[in-house]
Structure 1
Amino acid sequence: MTSSDHLLDLIRSTPEIDLLLRTSFGFDIGRKHQGEGLKLASGAPLEPIAGEFAGGAYFLCAEQDGRRPVVFASSDGEGGLIADDLADALEIIIGLEWRDCLGFSGGGDVEVMQVSAQHLERYLARNNPEIDKERAHAASALSLRVVPVADLVIRLWEAASRTEPGYVVTDEDGEAYDPPFGVYSEPRHGGWR
């Protein structure tokens, strides 16, 4: 059994953690049907493992050096590599508002991502005062680390920067998804408040 299989089995067999991942972190193994028909531009298949409430999907890629990289594809047609294996991906998913961090990256500038991550953390703490406890609980239950946000941003940036050429997501017609980095450095209407 691979470490990815072990983590997915652990989530399936622990309803409390499954619920927490689904509701607080947007990782829902019950929605693994989302993203069917997507593959890598190389033609390599993707194994759907989870979806999220906005219609995006998480996939495992073929094993490389004993690890199975994780790709995300949004329902808006953006996609790419987020981590080198499921454990790393879950640490990012649990510890960082990663989608918005990529979205407000100024086209892939790690310094802009760091600033965005700090703003997003403040918003998250205001809207969910229990987020630190939820993160610690999920990480502990899955034998993962709680990694500082700044370190997670670097890991996410490094992975997303390697999307091309090997991890470009395509649809059933062979159309490539947009790269994971958004062009904006902050929200357009009102900026970071």
Structure 2
Amino acid sequence: MASNDHLLDLIQSMPDIHGLLRGSFEFDIHRRECGDGLRLATGAPLEPIAGDSTGGAYFLCAEEGGRRAVVFASSEGAGGLIADDLASALEIIIGLGWQDCLGFSGGGDLDVMQASAQHLEKHPARADPEIAEERARVAAALSLRVLPVPDLVIRLHAAASRTEPNYVVTSDDGDVYDLPFGEYLEPRHGGWR
């Protein structure tokens, strides 16, 4: 699997892939400032690597066991571990509506996340009929795998479940971010349609 630095360099060197990551998957390596002033509750620093259009930020953690885990912090004050390395994080980011999957997780229930993911998968295809092709293009360019949604949900759930105690996000002001799992089972107004 490619190193984190190699993947970031590849994204930087391929404007079309960077454009797809930014536009279709909300991973923009030119929005690194989104994560200023955040660190882990353990005191470990976070290296901002990308942001999304809402002010959320992706970070690499300090190396542990030869890998650098990836943490996400939303602009709404929730955050936590999403993968053990950047390649795994990017597979989740391109293959799954992962933020909504966590938000509609019933507090971290894997079965609820699986049901939410199945409903959420219908939305990208309606909003962007070429999403499957875009996923495949990004995966091929970065030597990633396009995995089945249920497998991605299991991986995301496993990572987010390990947020405490080592991957809890805090601000320099001492504010502790909420854990990544939302309490909702489905959207409040009208449910899944």
- Pairwise same-fold verdict (TM > 0.5): yes
Equivalent in the alignment of 1:100: 100
Equivalent in the alignment of 1:159: 159
What are the ranges of 5 or more consecutive residues in structure 1 without an aligned counterpart? none
Equivalent in the alignment of 2:137: 137
SS of the residue aligned with 1:34? Answer: helix
TM-superposition CA deviations, 1:33-67 (whole Å, max 9, x none): 11101000000000000000011000000001111
RMSD: 0.7
Alignment of 1:45-64 (within 5 A): 45-64=45-64
TM-superposition CA deviations, 1:4-56 (whole Å, max 9, x none): 00000000000010000000000000001111010000000000000000110
Equivalent in the alignment of 1:23: 23
Distance 1:76 1:69 in 2: 21
Q: Which runs of 4+ in 1 moved over 4 A?
A: none
Equivalent in the alignment of 1:37: 37
TM-score normalised to structure 1 length: 0.98
SS of the residue aligned with 2:34? Answer: coil
SS of the residue aligned with 1:16? Answer: helix
Matched AA of 1:40: L
| Matched length | 192
TM-score normalised to structure 2 length: 0.98
Matched AA of 2:175: E
How far the C-alpha of 1:126 sits from its partner, in A, is 1.3
TM-superposition CA deviations, 1:69-123 (whole Å, max 9, x none): 0000000000000000000000000000000000000000000000000000011
Equivalent in the alignment of 1:67: 67
Distance 2:125 2:104 in 1: 19
SS of the residue aligned with 1:115? Answer: helix
How far the C-alpha of 1:174 sits from its partner, in A, is 1.5
Alignment of 1:171-190 (within 5 A): 171-190=171-190
Amino-acid identity (%): 73
Distance 1:57 1:81 in 2: 12
Distance 2:127 2:24 in 1: 11
What are the ranges of 5 or more consecutive residues in structure 2 without an aligned counterpart? none
